[in-house]
Amino acid sequence: MTNPGMDADIYDAFMEQLHRYVRERLIPAEDQLEELGRVPDDILAEMREMGLFGVTMPEQYGGAGMNISQYVGFIREIAYASPAYRSIVSINIGMVCKSLLGFGTAAQKEHWLPKLAMGSIAAFGLTEPDSGSDSAAMKTRAVRDGNGYVLNGTKRYITNAPFADMILVMARTNAEALPKNAHVSAFLVPRDAPGVSIGKPDGKMGQAGSQIADVILEDVHVDGDALLGGEEGIGFRAAMQSLDNGRLSVAAASVGYAKRMLDAGLKYAMERKAFGEPIANFQLIQAMLADSKAEIYAADCMLNDACARADRGEKILVEAAATKMFASEMCGRVADRVVQIHGGAGYLKEYLAERFYRDCRIYRIYEGTTQIQQLVIAKNMIRDYES
């Protein structure tokens, strides 16, 4: 069924406002963000006031009700600025919102979605020290205790963990690895629940201001109503379904940031002179600019197609994987070319090209590495051929 999403005129007006906000407020605050290591409090308050934490929540829960295409357009726009701005809102409006809407009970939706729409910050707890894409290796356990559960385990590389108010935790409710990952359940765990602690934020190559850290669960007791959907065994299914959104979000972020990088590269090429003329006049510089423009356009088209399919209610597992794979790899190539266009200056912290190069490297890793996307695509091709 087609999802009409937010009223088109209201959406267009919102995006115009966001376009200005990104350039007039978020980009000028990037140096402050880098220095603080987090989004400044005044900007965070403004983002909450603008409703940026609830753009995909249905209107009945206080959100804007954007469909997938509109959500991805929003991500593309906000991702033109530092990746930290996208990171702080993306878990709310992407994976956690999708999991709650697709699998949550009515009570869970009523309790959590309005809080998230207003700016309570969510984290998504899937990855562990010895387990990422391999759910059979998951060690975090949830053991029945009366009408609730006791959780023990450690989650690693969890985006927004230091700021989170709620963590959607994947844990095994069966010691054995069951077919279709039915040993994995999902739990809505308040950050302030006794036994929950957050490790020291990890030092990273790039994306200053977006923090990741371990989430340690030590005898954390949650009531039965914390079990997503009130049903054991649906956690991995919720995670995988929400990862389609997550992959589209990373693809959109890759496109948005690639556009920023290319704009910076073009500006430098127009202003930097060699042999008495702008280096933008040199054909080999033009080739790098043109290749980058064409690849960004291709990724944009893939995003638009995948989103349109999702809004029509189609399954987009392969399309989301392909789009994320291409867009994130494209972003890395654009970053490399922009450094090259800058020449020696591109290696200096004084210029944005150096930061761009470090910031975008993670896009090829999270929400499933490029290699995982290749496996998803190929396995589905083989399955379709055999059917």
What pLDDT, in 10s, does the model give residues 291-336?
Answer: 999 999 999 999 999 999 999 999 999 999 999 999 999 999 999 9
Alpha-carbon gap, residue 79 to 221, rounded angstroms: 37
Report how far Cα 306 is from the mean position of its chain's Cα atoms: 16
Q: Give, to the nearest 10 degrees, the angle between helix 83-91 and helix 68-78.
A: 150
Share of the chain above pLDDT 90, in %: 88
* Average pLDDT estimate for 101-127: 95
Alpha-carbon gap, residue 117 to 3, rounded angstroms: 20
* Average pLDDT estimate for 247-260: 97
Tens digit of pLDDT for each residue in 168-187?
999 999 888 788 788 999 99
Which residue has tokens 């280096």? 279
Report how far Cα 182 is from the mean position of its chain's Cα atoms: 25
Please, which pLDDT band fits residue 47 given cuts at 50, 70 and 90?
Answer: very high
Catalytic member of 295, 319, 354, 367? 367
- In this predicted structure, the answer to whether residue 10 has a pLDDT above a threshold of 90 is yes
* Average pLDDT estimate for 10-26: 97
How much is the pLDDT for 4? 83
Q: Name the CATH architecture for the domain at 8-120.
A: Orthogonal Bundle (1.10)
Q: Give, to the nearest 10 degrees, the angle between helix 283-311 and helix 68-78.
A: 150
Q: Name the CATH architecture for the domain at 123-231.
A: Beta Barrel (2.40)
Alpha-carbon gap, residue 136 to 234, rounded angstroms: 14
Q: In the chain, at which residue ranges do the beta strands (DSSP E only) sit?
A: 122-125, 141-145, 148-159, 166-172, 184-190, 196-198, 212-223, 273-274, 277-278
Q: Does domain 237-386 have CATH number 3.20.20.450?
A: no
DSSP state of 203: P
Alpha-carbon gap, residue 49 to 129, rounded angstroms: 36
In one letter, which amino acid is 172?
R
- Give the chain's mean pLDDT: 94
- Tokens, residue 61: 């829960």
Alpha-carbon gap, residue 369 to 206, rounded angstroms: 17
Residue ranges per structural domain of the chain: 8-120, 123-231, 237-386
Q: In 178-211, at which residue ranges do the beta strands (DSSP E only) sit?
A: 184-190, 196-198
- In this predicted structure, the answer to whether residue 134 has a pLDDT above a threshold of 90 is no
- In this predicted structure, the answer to whether residue 135 has a pLDDT above a threshold of 80 is no
How much is the pLDDT for 1? 58
Going by C-alpha positions, the residue among 320, 337, 326, 310 that lies closest to residue 363 is: 326
* Residue 367 annotated to the active site: yes
Q: Give, to the nearest 10 degrees, the angle between helix 41-49 and helix 83-91.
A: 50
Contact 236, 170 (CB under 8 A): yes
Residue 36, C-beta contacts closer than 8 angstroms, at least 6 positions apart: 209
Alpha-carbon gap, residue 172 to 21, rounded angstroms: 43
Local structure of 29: helix, strand or coil: coil
Contact 237, 181 (CB under 8 A): yes
